[in-house]
Amino acid sequence: MPSQNHYDSIQLTPEGQLKHFLTIEGLHAGLLTEILDTADSFVDMSEQQVKKIPLLRGKTVANLFFEASTRTLSTFELAAKRLSADVLNLNISTSSTSKGETLKDTLMTLRAMHCDMFVVRHSASGAAHFIAEHVTPDVAVINAGDGRHAHPTQAMLDMLTIRQHKGDFAQLKVAIVGDILHSRVARSQIHALRTLGTAEIRVIAPLTLLPRHIEAMGVKVYTEMSRGLRDVDVIIMLRLQKERMQTALLPSESEFYKLYGLTEAKLAYARPDAIIMHPGPINRGVEIESGVADGPRSVILNQVTNGIAVRMAVMSMAMSGQLKLNQQSTEV
C-alpha cells in the first residue's frame, strides 16, 4: 500500500486543490468542508425543472467498475449527466479482464478513448491509486471503492447527511456498527469524522469483525450494543461484507442480528433524537429491523439523495483542479 504522503502528492495540486479523489486520509478539514459546501449547493437540483448545469460539458466520464454495484454506479452516472458530461459505463468484470486482460492493458485501451475522468471500483486495495499514477496528467480519477481500503465519496455523503441533521461535528458522539474489519466505508468514515472534529467516534462489533489495533485510528471500541450505543447522536449500521470474509467469522446471521442488529429495543440506548444511517444495500433482519430502517429517525433515503450531490461536487472540483494544473503547465 502506498504511503499517505504519496497519496497527498498524487491527489492534490501544489496549491492544495483536488485533482484526484482516492482517499480521505490525510486531507485537511478545509478541503472536506469545501466538498460539503459544494455538495450542498447541488442538493436542491433534484427539485428543479431543469436538472443540468454545464460544468463538465464536453468532458467524458468513464465509470470503470471491476466490481458489481447498482447504487454507486447509478449515482455516479446521474451525477456526471447532471454536470452535462458524456458518460461511458464499463462493467469490466464481464468484459476484457475476464478474458485475461490486465489492469494496465485495460487502462491503455481506455486512454486511447481520450476520456477526461475515470471513476474506478475494484476489489483490490490501491487499484484507483495505481490508475491515477498511470493515466495522462489531464485525467482525473475518482475512487468508487477499492478492496478494504477506502470509499471516500460514500463517507462524504454520510458526512453531508450528518451535517444536515446535526450541524456541528464537535458536539457529536457517532457509533459505527457491524463488520468493521472488511469495510472500506468504515475506514473512510472514521478518517472523515476525525478530520471534521467529531467529539467521539465509537465502533461496535464482535471481536472477530474488528481490525487489530483499530484504537490507533482514534476510536473507542465496544463489543456490546447496550454500552456502545448509550447516548450516541448518530448510528451508522454497516452491511455484512460476506463476499470479503475469508473464514467463518460469525456463527450465523441470526446470531449476529440477535447481538448486533439494530432493533427498536437497542435503539432505546441512544439519544432520543439520534439518526440512523446505512450505506446500503440493507440486509433487513440481519443488520437492521425493517421498522427501524423505515422509521422516523432513519435518514437512509437522504443518504441516497446526498450521494448524487457529493459525487457532483467531487467530480466538478477534481476536474477544476486538473484544468488549472494543465493551464499552469501550458503557460510554463
Could you list the residues known to form a binding site for L-aspartate, using ranges.
99, 184, 239
The CA distances from residue 271 to 172, 231, 236, 318, in Å, are 11, 5, 14, 38
- On whether the CB atoms of residues 96 and 39 are closer than 8 A, the answer is no
Enumerate the β-bridge partners of residue 89: 63
Q: Which residue numbers belong to the known binding site for carbamoyl phosphate?
A: 71-72, 121, 151, 154, 280-281
Query: Could you tell me which residues are beta bridge partners of residue 234?
Result: 174, 275
Q: How far is CA 326 from the centre of its chain?
A: 27
Would you list which residues are annotated within the binding site?
71-72, 99, 121, 151, 154, 184, 239, 280-281
Cβ count within 10 A of residue 94? 10
CA distances from 149 to 2, 22, 25, 208 (A): 11, 10, 10, 18
CA 249 to chain centre: 25
Alpha-carbon distance of 81 to 90, in angstroms, equals 16
Alpha-carbon Rg for the chain in angstroms = 20
Distance CA 196, CA 54 (A): 31
* Amino acid identity, position 256: F
